[in-house]
Structure 1
Amino acid sequence: MGEAIHLSHNERVKLIHAARKALDGAGFTHVPIIAGTGAGSTRETIELTEEAAGAGADYAIVIASGYFAGVLAGNKAALKTFWVEVSEKSPIPVMIYNFPGASGGIDLDSDLISELATDCPNICGVKLTCGNVGKLTRIADAVSSPAFASTYPRKNAAAPFLVLGGFIDFLVPSGFASGHGAITGLANVAPHAIVHLFTLTEAAKKDLSILPEAQRIQGIIARGDYTIAKASIAGTKYLLEKLYGYGGAPRKPLPPIDPGAAQTLWEHPHAQDLIKLERELSGKTKA
């Protein structure tokens, strides 16, 4: 839920251990764990990545530190060096996490990300929470050709370079631009709806008669995603608690959602449309 930054090293390790144990115990040994390991310095990021790998993480997702964003944002060489050094030292494949809102406004452009894709064989993709579909299109075009895979093979052949959105509200257009999917917090709230949309998108790429239905579902999910995102992490965790019995409040200093705002979020037509869709797809129609 985006709160890795609030955890100590020890807490992160414990959570990764627990997640791996729970997945394996439930028969989901094939499900990978992508651990957030971005920190304030290159050294600490590498340490966190090594610890995550030792705890059972399969991949690391790394965001740039925003503390000195005023220095880093305009220094392409420094930003590139950061991901080069982290990926070279990491025992597991590394994904770039481009999220200007959580990194002091640092926003990697498609040129730099494409360079990292070609120059760093242990980088396995990018999550674009900048929401820039044009950027996604350019990167996906660069890495989707057979020539890219043969010319720039990955260190881990099972970890090809994936171009992923950070929100689910543009999954259909990104899919038609050769994007590979999305890593989205909304999947915690509406997992069946998200899977359904992805399945429709992939099918529509082969049969355009399916596209109108994919677009209809995308509309429901995009409106729900936007409405819930405006309530921030606290709003998402409130919905998790109300729908599934877990979630709780975010860790301080983030405040819990105000009761009035929580009620407004729950009753919002866009949230209710999404919840209705999720219940229909999951077979759980409880009001």
Structure 2
Amino acid sequence: MQSLIGTGVALVTPFKKDFSIDIEALQRIVNFSIDGGVEYLVVMGTTAENATLTQAEKELVITTVINTNKGRLPLVLGVGGNNTMQIVEELKTGDFSAFEAILSVSPYYNKPTQEGIYQHFKAIAEASPIPVILYNVPGRTSSNMLPSTVIRLANDFKNVVAIKEAAGDLIQAMQIIKNAPKDFLVISGDDMIALPIVLAGGAGVISVIGQGFPKEFSEMIRLGLNKKVNEAFKTQYFLSDCIDMIFEQGNPAGIKQVFQALGIAENTVRLPLVSVDDSLANRLNEFVKNSIK
């Protein structure tokens, strides 16, 4: 899965002030990310606020991204949830011809055991017509998919090709890198530690900030993959304050403020999320202003 090495970006769903989907802004975001040099696009992840979208809206977003991309970059589709049977049915009946892989989150709210997590992804792997990227994000799911479970899945199912590891734990990521099959990819799900994970042997990142600063962030990851450490860390430290800020009041409120500062999209989010407050907006606006050359 060489196409998943480097920087993928978890695309936002831009809204107009009336909370309807802003198709033109979505087209601008896709083109901005592609022109900035990212390696692939992730559609319908958590950052897309997919929990607040109707099925028709999801289909509109997916179609818009496919049509705007025009085959330029590989696409990954978020297909996950906490109802295993529903996901399996979606995988058996959906059209995934435009996508390189699915990204499937570990079940949230139910808080399954490690065996439950394994059986969940076993069912997904057996049903999926395309490769599967596992997604571990304990901060959202309230359960941590342990390295032993990840490695078990990677060994048992050839189409389980990667994990987006967002536990915020470098040691846990390193355990997976060390013990997983040779071609299994460990992809950072945390922007702040993406570079350290790459330097430890990871394959790259599925990023939030990467769509706001695609040129800088994707180049940083490529430098890391090529072990040009000092050059890579210059960008890491340049962006580190902004990475902190975009998550300070929740995702994707922060990155949407960046897009507003760039003149690409409104900073509107749907309830129960709210836009960043004036203090954070001013700080993000200032960072963007100072970063534009």
State the TM-score bracket (shorter-chain normalisation): 0.7 to 0.9
1:109-134 CA-partner distances (Å, limit 9, x unpaired):
11111111101111121001112111
Classify 1:38/1:247 alpha carbon distance in 2 versus 1 (closer, same or farther; 3 Å): farther
Deviation at residue 248 of structure 1 after TM alignment: 3.4
Question: When the two structures are aligned, how many residues end up with a matched partner?
Answer: 246
Within a 5 Å distance, the mapping from 1:142-221 to structure 2 comes to: 142-143=179-180, 148-149=181-182, 161-203=184-226, 205=227, 210-221=228-239
Contact 1:4–1:36 (CA under 8 A) maintained in structure 2: no
1:139-173 CA-partner distances (Å, limit 9, x unpaired):
11223xxxx35xxxxxxxxxx53111112222332
Q: Within 1, Cα distance between the matches of 2:243 and 2:152?
A: 31
Q: Within 2, Cα distance between the matches of 1:16 and 1:110?
A: 32
> What residue number does 1:82 align with?
120
> What residue number does 1:155 align with?
none
Contact 2:203–2:225 (CA under 8 A) maintained in structure 1: no
Contact 1:124–1:161 (CA under 8 A) maintained in structure 2: yes
Q: Within 2, Cα distance between the matches of 1:141 and 1:91?
A: 28
Structure 2: any 5+ residue segments left out of the alignment?
1-11, 13-46
> What residue number does 2:44 align with?
none
Aligned equivalent of 1:68, options 66, 87, 110: 110
Contact 1:36–1:62 (CA under 8 A) maintained in structure 2: yes
Contact 2:166–2:188 (CA under 8 A) maintained in structure 1: yes
1:233-260 CA-partner distances (Å, limit 9, x unpaired):
2121111122132143112221222334
Deviation at residue 276 of structure 1 after TM alignment: 4.2
> What residue number does 1:156 align with?
none
Aligned equivalent of 2:82, options 40, 47, 69: 40
Aligned Cα RMSD in Å?
2.1
> What residue number does 1:31 align with?
73
Aligned equivalent of 1:123, options 160, 180, 196: 160
Classify 1:162/1:215 alpha carbon distance in 2 versus 1 (closer, same or farther; 3 Å): same
Q: 2:242 aligned with 1:242, yes or no?
A: no
> What residue number does 2:50 align with?
4
Structure 1: any 5+ residue segments left out of the alignment?
150-159, 280-284
Classify 1:93/1:275 alpha carbon distance in 2 versus 1 (closer, same or farther; 3 Å): farther
Q: Within 2, Cα distance between the matches of 1:213 and 1:243?
A: 25
Q: Within 2, Cα distance between the matches of 1:8 and 1:50?
A: 20
SS of the equivalent of 1:218 reads: helix
Q: Equivalent pairs: percent with the same residue?
A: 22
Q: Which stretch has the larger CA shift, 184-193 or 35-44? A: 35-44
> What residue number does 1:18 align with?
64
> What residue number does 1:154 align with?
none
Q: Within 2, Cα distance between the matches of 1:6 and 1:20?
A: 21
Contact 1:171–1:218 (CA under 8 A) maintained in structure 2: no
Q: Which stretch has the larger CA shift, 6-15 or 57-66? A: 6-15
> What residue number does 1:59 align with?
101
Deviation at residue 58 of structure 1 after TM alignment: 2.6
